[in-house]
Amino acid sequence: MVGFAILLGLFVAGVYVAALYNQLVLVKHNVAKAWANTDVLLKQRNDEIPKLIAVCREYAGFEATLLARLAGAHAAAVAAQQGARVTLVGAAEAKLGEEFTRLAAVAEAWPDLKSNLQFRALQERISGLEAAIADRREFYNESVRIHNVTIERFPASLLAGWFSFQAADLLRFRND
């Protein structure tokens, strides 16, 4: 009878450990999925920026330094995205967002540019992608929060440490 109780206790403990491990794997993969969804939108938006720069360059005298800064910020965002380090992506995206905001403000002073259908379509497409990125970023950050809390809670923290589950970084743009 004692042997049966010990076996039953070991079985229950094994099931508990397996369930706990599976929970850790689930939250880890949810973070990866949320990042992949965000990454797709960032790539789509980054693909539109060179087109916008090309349209602006057609207008002689249009803020060449602004376009150069925007191109540089775009290149930095693409490079950070390829490195897949969330903190670097966030910083690069913050800089790109600042330059894009400056471009939109300066474009207001150029009526011919503002009336250009291609410019307006690109600006609307990028603005739509920005809204979608904000939504996906919120989902990603919530997935990271759940992941990080899960790996810090006892007794999951023991298993997380044993199997080298690491905390994930939040995706922060600007000073948020």
Give pTM, 2 decimals. 0.81
CATH code of 24's domain: 1.20.1440.20
Give DSSP secondary structure letters for 148-171: HHHHHSTTHHHHHHHTT--PPPP-
Three-state secondary-structure class, residue 172 = coil
Asked if the structure places residue 51 within a domain, the reply is: yes
pLDDT in tens, 104-161: 888 777 777 777 788 888 888 988 998 999 999 999 999 999 999 999 999 988 888 8
Domain that holds residue 57: 2-162
Asked if the structure places residue 167 within a domain, the reply is: no
Asked if the structure places residue 50 within a domain, the reply is: yes
Asked if the structure places residue 169 within a domain, the reply is: no
Q: What whole-number distance in Å separates Cα of residue 41 and Cα of residue 58? A: 27
pLDDT in tens, 24-48: 999 999 999 999 999 999 999 989 9
- Number of independent structural domains in the chain: 1
Per-residue pLDDT, 176: 55
Q: Which two tokens stand for residue 107?
A: 């474009």
Per-residue pLDDT, 144: 96
Per-residue pLDDT, 129: 92
Give DSSP secondary structure letters for 81-147: HHHT-HHHHHHHHHHHHHHHHHHHHHHTT-HHHHH-HHHHHHHHHHHHHHHHHHHHHHHHHHHHHHH
Q: What whole-number distance in Å separates Cα of residue 56 and Cα of residue 135? A: 28
Residue where the block lists tokens 């950070």: 80
Per-residue pLDDT, 175: 55
pLDDT in tens, 42-78: 999 989 989 888 888 777 566 778 888 888 888 888 8
Asked if the structure places residue 119 within a domain, the reply is: yes
Q: What whole-number distance in Å separates Cα of residue 37 and Cα of residue 26? A: 16
Give DSSP secondary structure letters for 40-99: HHHHHHHHHHHHHHHHHHTSTTS-HHHHHHHHHHHHHHHHHHHHT-HHHHHHHHHHHHHH
Asked if the structure places residue 175 within a domain, the reply is: no
Asked if the structure places residue 174 within a domain, the reply is: no
Asked if the structure places residue 18 within a domain, the reply is: yes
Q: What whole-number distance in Å separates Cα of residue 162 and Cα of residue 35? A: 25
